[in-house]
Amino acid sequence: MLASFLLLSWISSISALYFHIGETEKKCFIEEIPDETMVIGKYRTQLWDKQSGSFLPATPGLGMHVEIKDPDTKIILSRQYGSDGRFTFTSHTPGEHQICLHSNSTKMALFAGGKLRVHLDIQVGEHTNNYPEIAAKDKLTELQLRVRQLLDQVEQIQKEQNYQRYREERFRMTSESTNQRVLWWSITQTLILIITGIWQMKHLKSFFEAKKLV
């Protein structure tokens, strides 16, 4: 039985969690992401061991399939990974991105009827940068590294502001469209009432004339 779990998380944040899945389950998460923003996801799996009564590191043969869809439901990443993995993608359309994971359990007799725990860590925006590695590579001083971090944060804030304006614009357009439809519907109802009233008056007049009451 296919089950989906949707989680809304704030943009430009770090989301760390774990969840359980069965051998036929699929878990999906929704991440609101501005455009041109890098996202890094890291996960590790643990398999339930009946003998010890606890979760143990999964065998290397057990893998996870990761599928990412953009707000237009276009697949931007679909790939099979191992029991522990790391995936990255860059958003090109602002909005809700769907991140789905499911195991290749049908190929693993060991997992049949079992339960898998998945630890997932999603990093968005400037949180994806490894600043110690950047400092070592570019030979930056502590002050230069701090300036680099501030510049990255400012850039991400601008992207978030642009995304919020994009959402506000879409909401405004939806509201205006709804108000316009309500207005036309009210006008249509009024016209129908007027036409119905005129028809009833003519019908009553014809009825009274036929009965020679007028």
In three-state secondary structure terms, 126 is helix
Q: 2.60.120.380, 3.90.320.10, 2.30.40.10, 3.30.450.20: which CATH number matches 16-128?
A: 2.60.120.380
To the question of pTM greater than 0.75 for the whole model, the response is: no
Q: Are 123 and 14 in contact (CB under 8 A)?
A: yes
Whole-angstrom Cα distance, residue 184 to residue 166? Answer: 27
Parse the chain into domains and list their residue ranges: 16-128, 131-213
Neighbours of 202 (CB within 10 A): 10
The β-bridge relationship of strands 14-21 and 116-124 is antiparallel
113: left (phi over 0), alpha (psi -120 to 50) or beta: left
Q: Are 56 and 128 in contact (CB under 8 A)?
A: no
Q: One digit per residue, pLDDT tens: the chain, 214 residues?
A: 334 433 333 334 556 788 888 777 888 988 888 888 888 889 988 887 778 778 888 777 778 889 999 998 999 999 988 888 889 998 888 888 999 998 876 554 455 556 788 899 888 876 666 777 777 777 777 787 788 778 877 877 887 788 888 888 888 888 888 988 998 999 999 999 999 988 888 888 777 777 665 5
Neighbours of 31 (CB within 10 A): 23
